[in-house]
Chains A and B, each alone.
Chain A
Amino acid sequence: MKLAYWMYAGPAHIGTLRVASSFQNVHAIMHAPLGDDYFNVMRSMLERERDFTPVTASIVDRHVLARGSQEKVVENITRKDKEEKPDLILLTPTCTSSILQEDLQNFVDRASIESNSDVILADVNHYRVNELQAADRTLEQVVRYYIQKANKQGNLNLTKSKTPSANIIGIFTLGFHHQHDCREIRRLFQDLGIEINEIIPEGNSVNNLKNLPRAWFNFIPYREIGLMTAKYLEKEFQMPYIANIPMGIVDTATCIREIQKIVSTLQKPMDFESYIDKQTRFVSQAAWFSRSIDCQNLTGKKAIVFGDGTHAAYMTKILAREMGIRVACAGTYCKHDAHWFREEVQEYCDEVLITDDHTEVGNMIARIEPAAIFGTQMERHIGKRLDIPCGVISAPVHIQNFPLGYRPFLGYEGANQIADLVYNSFTLGMEDHLLEIFGGHDTKEVITKSLSTNSDLTWSADGLNELKKIPGFVRGKIKRNTEKFARENGINEITVEVMYAAKEALNT
């Protein structure tokens, strides 16, 4: 048992449901008790979805506990088949069905005889995998099913397209800025003259999966979901895949060069260097921004990055390599992919944190006291408490992270967006200086914002007065440093002298 208040990645069935409801005309039936269909609320509220979420539950209640589901699951599948006529019905196990150990595969076999839809049992175990792993796995399972089906029926589309083409694998419902990223990748590929074969799963039909082998290569925009499918297709059809993510100016170039290499080895020499150069130097603003004097003020400022593997790793590289910001700690909650993450960020940050415990992240932030945080909604709230600004760069997210406007994180426009996000998260340069010179513009009483418990120290009147002169946004930090110094030196009352002594001690 684990005492938990909050989690970064959801339970396995959420991943499966995200795959199912991303496809068109696929219906998921959860084998779950009443109230477990909370996914529908999330999709309807966060994505502001106009259509009914194609997820229903085959309710597990007392009777099911006593007698087993018996006909219930089969009836629910055949009923959905008649009502909605989906192409595919995905039976989704939950934590409840994991322990009931009913033979769900048997229900699926029986139901598929009676129904016109295809029926699959999602092969995920609640206690072994989380949301992201389950989604990765389910997507591969669905793709494999339809490739094999097409193979059997002999209508697998194996002829490569005339011009270079790509599949984009891993655009999902409830994904962090996925819709915007997808649009940006389309634009990038269009610029490069690469045709887009299929985008899966978002908005696509399972009937199009047989066309996947037609593409020259697969493109995986996020490490967390889609890699398994890409590996399957590589094994089955020798399709190369690109897992270099075009996030940030440098990595966008790396990714484009990778595409160039793949396409060139497949009989069509292409040269994207001039495109990269033009985009980098003149079209995108991000490269120019990092050179501009504005960005100078960010030099050496301390930041912390935390999020899913993809976003945290690439964000760390952008901050360190493209903006000269010091990343004091980079971390991820994708523990299953820790090895890759470490490799990616090692040379760009002081320390690496792999954990899915948000209190550990909070303590790390409190200890390091960065000038800005780039993390998930949880880190944003930690930042609020410590009075440290935070830019949200990764799921889990709130409704405000599903903006209506165009906000990609990938590609050249994504680099612009990220530059804005980073810049706005730090206190603006000139304001910073002016505040320092004139001693701040607020005269409010000092409020303790530390995460730790109340201190046993007293501040003398002149000490407090001096503290008030310090600009608001660093005041908490100075206060904590001074108190730490006082405690270490056994001082009970903090006067102006103690403050200066603390400052000097810190500088040496």
Chain B
Amino acid sequence: MLEKISDTLTFECETGNYHTFCPISCVAWLYQKIEDSFFLVVGTKTCGYFLQNALGVMIFAEPRYAMAELEEGDISAQLNDYEELKRLCIQIKKDRNPSVIVWIGTCTTEIIKMDLEGMAPKLEAEIGIPIVVARANGLDYAFTQGEDTVLAAIVHRCPDYKLQNKTDLTDNDIQEDATRFSFLKLRKNNIRSISATNSHPPLVLFGSLPTTVSSQLNLELKRNQIEVSGWLPTQRYTDLPSLGEGVYVCGVNPFLSRTATTLMRRKKCKLISAPFPIGPDGTRAWIEKICNVFNIQPTGLEERENKIWDGLEDYLDLVRGKSVFFMGDNLLEISLARFLIRCGMIVYEIGIPYMDKRYQAAELMLLQKTCEMMNVPLPRIVEKPDNYNQIQRIRELKPDLAITGMAHANPLEARGISTKWSVEFTFAQIHGFTNARDILELVTRPLRRNQSLHELGWNNLVKVNSQ
């Protein structure tokens, strides 16, 4: 299957000189998602400055995240890391009393080889709060991959799932469950025994989504007799789902490959490889794939998808035949490109920071099928793109829309290229049937705006010598 993909889709790899957010930005949405958590970013002023500016107003709302700002004494090991972190974590416990503290390791902790994983269990035992370590640094990862590292670390803290023969867990089991990967014993009532329903084995979905979106997806599956037993992450850390052999898992976002690997290798879960539920076509394919694995005949999906497409007609008129260029910075690119091609757009290039061909296999297949169906050439997929080269290509191709980071958006607009900030796709609700309209709302916004400005003739707003 993999060979078949690489036969027809072409993958290129450039220099990796591109603009993206630092993966520590994941604290912005994760601290909101996991309500009883506290995120401590162990890094320098550079990390702090990024968070403060990237998250804007959120910083003023007494967020449940903070920097453990490393000073010269920490770098030169004049101060004891363990004692320093202990001091800060005790203060956090006193001020906020969270159910979990997540340490985000950064470039600096990597370089000075601060042993966060080693210190966490000791400190955890000492202060009585679970400490999860995620290395979400710019040396290894881009933007949304930060969430991937956090979720992969949290997987280890999920209680073990036992095939349900005995309905009641004994105290011994609990002890064992809780101590295997988590160093702190979870309270008994927090261990939720998830059970298989009559029709299919337990299904846990992974990926952080706003609560409304996750319940929409739950509902879509329920319509097809599929019961979602749990989500990773949950609203509260203390409610993490049980995982283990016999549990099926399925991702909702394309950037969760480490989490998927951890679920399979460490928790022995079965991964359902499906396209991601972005756009009505993706959502349908996602549900169908899950149904397929569970041997359930989906009902009324086609009608539902068609109805959603009908509802989008006004937006589709705007985008049909228009061209798009993805510069690439958040790993949602393949799924969004696939959806936009299905909407009738032409995609010139899909830039993407990192391409896991195995985890995204089903999505890539769907992309290919969509291109055939819409009778458009396959777009080039550029891994680790080079922004300078991309801008040269954008100048040549003159796409109707460039989906790009904020560093390039204004300069491109000034040169008459319509842009959409890619970051918005990360923060907007784009999953499921219900939110397909929101994606198009984002994509068409520059087109609609520029339609109204077009008459004025101010499309190019730079002086000739700085073209």
Contact = CB atoms under 8 A, between A and B. Distances in A.
A134 to B, nearest CB: 11
Contacts of B111: 65, 96, 99-100
B19 A40 contact: yes
Contact of B107 (A13, A49, A60): A60
B252 to A, nearest CB: 24
A6 interface: yes
Contact of A126 (B45, B68, B391, B414): B45
A35 B71 contact: no
A95 interface: yes
18 contacts: A3-B68, A3-B69, A7-B48, A13-B46, A14-B49, A37-B19, A38-B22, A40-B407, A41-B406, A42-B53, A45-B410, A49-B411, A50-B461, A62-B139, A94-B46, A96-B46, A99-B75, A130-B45
A38 B71 contact: no
Contacts of B414: 50-51
B21 interface: yes
A307 interface: no
Contacts of A45: 406, 410
Contact of A6 (B50, B54, B59, B72): B59
Interface in A362-416: 378, 381, 384, 398
Contacts of A5: 59, 63, 66-67
A36 interface: yes
A5 B48 CA distance: 8
Interface of B: 16-17, 19-23, 42, 44-46, 48-50, 52-54, 56, 59-60, 63, 66-72, 74-75, 79, 84-85, 87-88, 91-92, 107-108, 110-112, 137-143, 388, 391, 405-411, 414, 461-462, 466
Contact of B69 (A1, A37, A41, A59): A1
A382 to B, nearest CB: 8
Contacts of A14: 49
A95 B45 contact: yes
Interface string A147-162: 0000000000000000
Contact of B44 (A11, A44, A61): A11
Contacts of A2: 67-69, 71
Contacts of B60: 378, 381, 384
B197 to A, nearest CB: 43
B91 A3 contact: yes
Nearest to B91: A3
A35 B68 contact: no
B50 A38 contact: yes
Given A41-B405, A44-B409, A7 B112 contact: no
Nearest to B423: A41
Interface in A1-20: 1-7, 10-11, 13-14
A261 B16 CA distance: 57
B140 A11 contact: no
Interface residues of A, number: 51
Given A11-B46, A96-B108, A61 B68 contact: no
B355 to A, nearest CB: 16
Contacts of A56: 17, 388
B361 to A, nearest CB: 25
Contacts of A62: 139-140
Contacts of A33: 22, 107, 137-139
A473 B273 CA distance: 59
Interface string A15-59: 000000000000000001111111011101100111111001101
Interface in A263-305: none
Nearest to A60: B139
Contacts of A10: 45, 49
A1 B107 CA distance: 16
Contacts of A130: 45
B131 to A, nearest CB: 15
A1 B23 CA distance: 21
B85 A1 contact: yes
A65 B113 CA distance: 11
B53 A38 contact: yes
A336 to B, nearest CB: 15
A33 B112 CA distance: 15
A441 to B, nearest CB: 29
B410 A35 contact: no
B410 A11 contact: no
Contacts of B52: 6-7
Contacts of B110: 65
B22 A36 contact: yes
Contacts of B54: 38, 41
Contacts of B22: 33-36, 38
A83 interface: yes
Nearest to B137: A33
A52 B408 contact: yes
Given A38-B49, A42-B53, A1 B66 contact: no
A127 interface: yes
A418 to B, nearest CB: 25
A3 B66 contact: yes
A173 to B, nearest CB: 14
A95 B46 contact: yes
A96 B23 CA distance: 16
A35 B50 CA distance: 9
A497 B292 CA distance: 75
B407 A35 contact: no
A83 to B, nearest CB: 7
Given A4-B69, A10-B49, A37-B407, 14 more contacts: A1-B79, A4-B48, A11-B46, A33-B139, A35-B22, A35-B138, A37-B19, A41-B19, A42-B53, A50-B466, A61-B140, A65-B111, A96-B108, A126-B45
Interface string A97-137: 01110000000000000000000000000111010000000
A11 B92 CA distance: 25
A272 to B, nearest CB: 37
A409 to B, nearest CB: 23
A1 B91 contact: no
